[in-house]
Structures are given as C-alpha cells and as structure tokens.
Amino acid sequence: MIMLNLTRSAFLRSALLGLCTAGLLTACGGGGQDDNVWSVGTEPAFPPFESVGEGDELVGFDIDLMRAVAEKAGKTVEFQSLPFDGLIPALQGGSIDAAISGMTITEEREKTIDFSDPYFDAGLAIAVAEGTTDVTSLDDLEGKRIAVQIGTTGAEAAASVADAKVSTFDSAPLALQELANGNVDAVVNDAPVTLYAIATGNIPGITVVGELLTEENYGIALPQNSENLEAVNTGLAAIKADGTYDALYEKWFGTAPLAQ
C-alpha cells in the first residue's frame, strides 16, 4: 500500500509539473513551483521606474528595489511583463506573486489586492505643449482633449473633467507622444515619469504646468492575504535602514530622497 501511495503521489507530482511547465495550470501559482523565486509582474514602459534596457533586460528603480527587497527575504525575482491593467487580474488569478509598477495605493484597489508599505511619494501632473498659457489646473481642461494611460489614477482624474475628450493608451510614453504630436491638449500622468521623459529629451516640446493634482504613494502589490506581505515589508524596512534605498534613489533620480 505504501508503495502504491508513493507511486501514485510521484505520478501526480510529475503530471502536475508537466501541466505547470505547459502553463496550463494556473494553480501552480506565480513562483509557486520554486519557493525561492517570486514571480513579479510589471508593465515596463514607465521610466525611470521600469523600462526595457538596451539588451532587452528590465531596468529601473522598481526593478532594482524589488530585487533588493527579495534578497532580504532570501528570494530571487523573475519578472513578467504584463499590461498595466492586467496586473491586478494576474494577482487575483494567482499567476504572479507580486506586482511592482509605479502602482498607486488606492482604496479602490485595496478592495481586491493588498499593498506593501508605501515605497515612493508621487502625484499626478498635467503636461501640455510648451507655450500653452491657458492651462494651470484640471478645471482648465474642461472640453479639451486629454491623453492618459489605461487603468491608471491619471485616467481616473481625466474622467472627472467635464466635457473632456479622453483618449487612452497602453503606456504613458504613448500618451505623452500623442501630446508631442499635437493630437491632444494635455496628458494627466504621474509627475516623476512625465518629468523624466522631459529631462531625458525623450518627449520634446512639452512641459508640466501648475501644481501636483494629487499626493499618491506607490506600493508593491500582492494578492489578498499573501503569505509574502510580511517578508516584503520587512525587506523594504531593511533596505531603507541600511542605505540601499537611498543609493537606488540617487542612482535613478540623481538626488537624495526627500525626507519621507
């Protein structure tokens, strides 16, 4: 009997592994096949937080930060590139263990997923073509054409503007390019990303106006009740305490972080 049980469980194990490899069994769960690997989703068109480097590898503040946090927990990270609006469904479906993607902690999202402690202070800004003089606030965008990235807090803010014609794009750079091309009057997007696009010269002829529209905090997203939440928060606290966080901030933003 014991033999039979062993044989049966060995058979089941290899059958399940086969399904996992074939990608047919979502219950295998993100990094579930290997307890030392976290499978982490990201939408890699949000520099300097995440983007695709010259050798096709993922680079950015979030990428380095996630690896450093995982290291503190004795884990390695395997990144999965996903559309931004596919990250929360992937967390809910169990095909990834976590997501890091400049994702703002919001009450709405917290109904379906969990967030780590905040790791970055951000906020929304309005970008317009250089020389624009009639836009300094969200109200000034009434009746105007606004480009946004799908599924973002920027898209939500734009949706609240009366009579605005909002067009949605898969990534922030595409929305900003639409502005540079003169096809829309404004972009509502995370300030650090828009400012980075301007500073690097990637998107010419645009500028940021007015004040930040919101104060937002980015968090690492996890499935609800994830067993990894505590390890992620402990890792975050550890990299803040030992100077790793400051070094990464300096590397990607060129300045020391403001006191948080």
Instruction: Give me the least distance between CB of 153 and ligand GLN, in Å please.
Output: 4
Q: Which residues pair with 39 in a beta bridge?
A: 78
Could you count the other beta carbons within 10 Å of the beta carbon of residue 44? 22
Instruction: Give me the least distance between CB of 5 and ligand GLN, in Å please.
Output: 48
For ligand GLN, the binding residues (CB under 6 A) are: 43, 46, 84, 101-104, 149, 152-153, 172, 190
Instruction: Give me the least distance between CB of 99 and ligand GLN, in Å please.
Output: 10
Instruction: Give me the least distance between CB of 193 and ligand GLN, in Å please.
Output: 7
Q: Which residue's CB is nearer to ligand GLN, number 104 or number 116?
A: 104
Instruction: Give me the least distance between CB of 14 and ligand GLN, in Å please.
Output: 39
Instruction: Give me the least distance between CB of 12 and ligand GLN, in Å please.
Output: 40
Q: Which residue's CB is nearer to ligand GLN, number 153 or number 228?
A: 153
Instruction: Give me the least distance between CB of 73 and ligand GLN, in Å please.
Output: 24
Q: Which residue's CB is nearer to ligand GLN, number 215 or number 230?
A: 215
Q: Which residue's CB is nearer to ligand GLN, number 32 or number 118?
A: 118
Cβ-based neighbours of 32, under 8 Å, separated by 6 or more: 94, 97
Q: Which residue's CB is nearer to ligand GLN, number 149 or number 226?
A: 149
CB-count exposure of residue 243 (10 Å: 0-12, 13-18, 19+): exposed
Q: Are 220 and 115 in contact (CB under 8 A)?
A: yes
Nearest C-alpha neighbor of 38 from the set 78, 8, 67: 78
Q: Which residue's CB is nearer to ligand GLN, number 154 or number 235?
A: 154
Q: Which residue's CB is nearer to ligand GLN, number 103 or number 186?
A: 103
| Rounded (10°) angle between helices 172-180 and 191-199 | 60
Tokens representing 218 are: 């980015």
Q: Which residue's CB is nearer to ligand GLN, number 78 or number 121?
A: 121
